[in-house]
Amino acid sequence: MDPPQPPPPPPPPPASTSHLPPHARITVCLTTSPIQSHPSTEILEQVLSSFRLAPGLETADRVVVFDGWRPLVAGLADQPKSGKISEETGRGYREYCERAGCLLIADLPAVEEGGEGEEEGGEAVEQEKAGAVLGGGKAEAGDETATEAAPSSPTFSTCPPSSSTTPLWRSRLPPGYTLTETHQAFKTGAQSSCTVRLITIATRFRTPLRMLFMSDRVGFALAVRSSLDHVGTPYVMVVQHDWRFSRPVDLGAILNAMERDRDEIKYVGFVSRRIVGYADRKGRRQFLPPSKVEEGRYDIPLTRLFFWFDKNHIAETDHYRNFVFSQGRFQRGDFIEDTFGQSQLTDIKRRTQAEGLAAHARYGTFLYYPADGQLSHITHLNGRKYLTEEGRKGLFGMGKRMKGKGRAREPWKRVGGSEAGSEVGSEFGSGRGSSVGGEEDRSESGDEAEGLYGFEGGGEEQD
């Protein structure tokens, strides 16, 4: 009998990208869906402008997912939580999509003549090297009018028609860019799918903007999953359309720390007003392991986080693909925090503290924690504040109740078993406001129900 063979050597660690600038190591995945302030793009403009507070993020490649919607029965009020809106609201959203496309194109970095990627070692070549770490991310430099055959010929009632927007957007392109439109199938369940209208805007060496328009409503979790099909960088910054940065963030230092301790740090979230002082606010969290890490353990200030928040965060791309989305956990309309986040919390909470720390290591979730967590770095934008006077009257005319600040809300989340994310109160009272964003009346998971963290209630977290 032959002697047993030694086990194969472990795979080599991923190539380091620490020598690259931050924008070449991360892709922004931004999700958006119908809200009350559309067709205004003011909220989106504020979110994009806030990227300057994280140097390098403003020039990183972007994948923007525009969720679809479903028409309501005539006469019923909008139900954005379930992706059902009136045709009138839908018209506002289609106009918003058109305007948002123009806004995103206007925000493209200029291509210097004879510059980008022409010389070895140039910025675009470095971007390609970062993409090569994941085996992808190369710009598609096909014919600007190419169209891939769709699984069917969809009528995109959920977004503006190609006949008007594609020529408009192409006319707005800066020199050196091309626009390609294709249709692709996207699987949303075991026996369901939708069609994605994909607008790819590229130079010879980079693809700084992709816009995905869903033919049907998919929800936040599947919107994020769809965006990952177009990411070639080691890290992603997931951004919801109504969460902006409010304080400077050292993006380069965060990425370096995530690479240096890649086996431990898989997700870095940001403190919002509701979770200031997270690590010290025990309450019912005595059943969880300690949040604080020993001083100097990491190169940046971090504290352990026991819940996967949807609001703005950086994550390792492969961790999203191979861990978060590996089990087929998500259905159309799901939020990651309502499913995966709840599962994570329950998994850690049911163990001893030592076992809980070991369980947390599988998730690798941390909060960026300068000033011992006493400063918030992201802020929620309230869509109602951007309504025109006519829009405000229409809101009341449709019988939708606007909720006063600081008013107590019932928890909509049940922990440890029954369905998370159940609606309490009116659609615009205690429930969620949109299918992919952290909408204006949507409270933060983990803060709404004290059973999660035992936080004492605060006022609404809105700008």
| pLDDT per residue as tens digits for the range 360-382 | 999 999 999 999 999 999 999 98
Q: What's the mean pLDDT in 402-424?
A: 31
What does the block give as tokens for 211?
Answer: 């816009």
Of residues 394 and 459, more confidently modeled: 394
CA distance 133 to 19: 13
CA distance 213 to 193: 14
CA distance 110 to 415: 49
pLDDT above 80 (res 84) = yes
pLDDT above 90 (res 384) = no
Band (pLDDT 50/70/90 cuts) for residue 42 is very high
SS3 383: helix
| pLDDT at residue number 281 | 81
- Strands 365-368, 267-270: parallel, antiparallel or unpaired by DSSP? parallel
pLDDT above 70 (res 60) = yes
- Which pLDDT tens digit goes with each residue over 422-447? 222 222 222 345 666 654 334 444 44
Contact between residue 259 and residue 17 where contact means Cβ atoms under 8 Å apart: yes
- Which pLDDT tens digit goes with each residue over 271-283? 999 999 999 885 4
Q: What's the mean pLDDT in 390-408?
A: 42
| DSSP3 helix / strand / coil % (the chain, rounded to 5) | 30, 15, 55
| pLDDT at residue number 328 | 74
Band (pLDDT 50/70/90 cuts) for residue 78 is confident
Domains of the chain: 22-109+171-384 (3.90.550)
Band (pLDDT 50/70/90 cuts) for residue 159 is confident
- Strands 178-187, 302-304: parallel, antiparallel or unpaired by DSSP? unpaired
| pLDDT at residue number 66 | 97
Band (pLDDT 50/70/90 cuts) for residue 86 is confident
Contact between residue 198 and residue 341 where contact means Cβ atoms under 8 Å apart: no
Q: What's the mean pLDDT in 112-137?
A: 49
CA distance 179 to 145: 7
Of residues 168 and 389, more confidently modeled: 168
| pLDDT at residue number 438 | 55
Mean pLDDT across the chain, nearest whole number?
78
